[in-house]
Structures are given as C-alpha cells and as structure tokens.
Amino acid sequence: MKIAIKYTIKSGRTLTRNLPAQFTVCEECRGKGSHLVEGMRGAVYTWEDFAEDPEFQTDYFGGAYDVPCETCRGERLVTVPEREVLTRSEARFLDMVERVQFEREREEAYLEAERRAEMGYRW
Ligand SMILES: [Zn+2]
C-alpha cells in the first residue's frame, strides 16, 4: 500500500511522492468514526446542563450530534507513511512535509488564540 504525500513549495509547484503506508487508528475520533458536530466540540457541558434538559442528554450521549469524522471520513482508520521502511530520501521528504505542517498548525493555533482574546475583550 502506498500513500501520496503532497508538498507545495513556495513557487506554488506541488511535489508528490508515493510512500509506503500502513493503517493506524484515527487520532481525531479515536477510532470511533464520528465526532461531535463542529461548534459543540470543545464545549463543556456540566451535569447541571443535562439535568435541566434530559432530552438533550439522551441525544448528546446517543450520538445525535455526531457527524462522520472529517479526518478518516468514518473509516476509523487513517493511512500514514510507514516510517520504518522509508529510504533516506523518502524520510527526508516526509520530515520536510511534517515540519511545514507543524509550523502551519502552530500559526493557526496562534491566530485562533488571538481571535478568541479579541472576542473576549469585546464583551
Ligand atoms: Zn476519524
């Protein structure tokens, strides 16, 4: 099994390499294949909330607000490069892609934190 890893360089050109891959349990949904709908994820509900609205509690735990996992599309498993069998050049390519991804995620998390802070000041 192979997985196509894409990497877009600054000029806008996309490099693609097919790397050996294996299945692993999806981290996003922890192998459930679904997760709470966006907007409810990260929200914290207390037992008091549920006590006030028993129907909501039933729906919540019954998966009524679950949507298919965006990461694995409900497959419960995702394909990841099999690092142990990569050649040196493949490993270098993967390192580069992961580093860029990490930087991007960090930047997004930073912007998100800023947005939240701004919203906090407004009210
Ligand atoms: Zn998933």
pLDDT digits (tens, 9 = 90+) for 32-63: 999 988 888 778 889 999 999 999 999 999 99
- Could you tell me the distance, in angstroms and rounded to a whole number, from the CA of residue 69 to the centre of ligand 1? 5
pLDDT attached to residue 43: 80
Give yes or no for residue 117 having a pLDDT over 80.
yes
Give yes or no for residue 92 having a pLDDT over 80.
yes
- Could you tell me the distance, in angstroms and rounded to a whole number, from the CA of residue 66 to the centre of ligand 1? 12
The arithmetic mean of pLDDT across residues 18-37, rounded, is: 93
- Could you tell me the distance, in angstroms and rounded to a whole number, from the CA of residue 56 to the centre of ligand 1? 24
**Measured between alpha carbons, how far is 44 from 29 in angstroms, rounded to an integer?**
17
Q: Structure pTM?
A: 0.63
Do 29 and 72 meet the contact criterion of CB atoms below 8 Å apart?
yes
Those residues whose beta carbon sits under 5 angstroms from the ion ligand 1 are: 26, 28-29, 69, 71-72
Do 82 and 2 meet the contact criterion of CB atoms below 8 Å apart?
no
Nearest in space to 66 (alpha carbons), one of 45, 46, 40 = 40
**Measured between alpha carbons, how far is 71 from 12 in angstroms, rounded to an integer?**
25
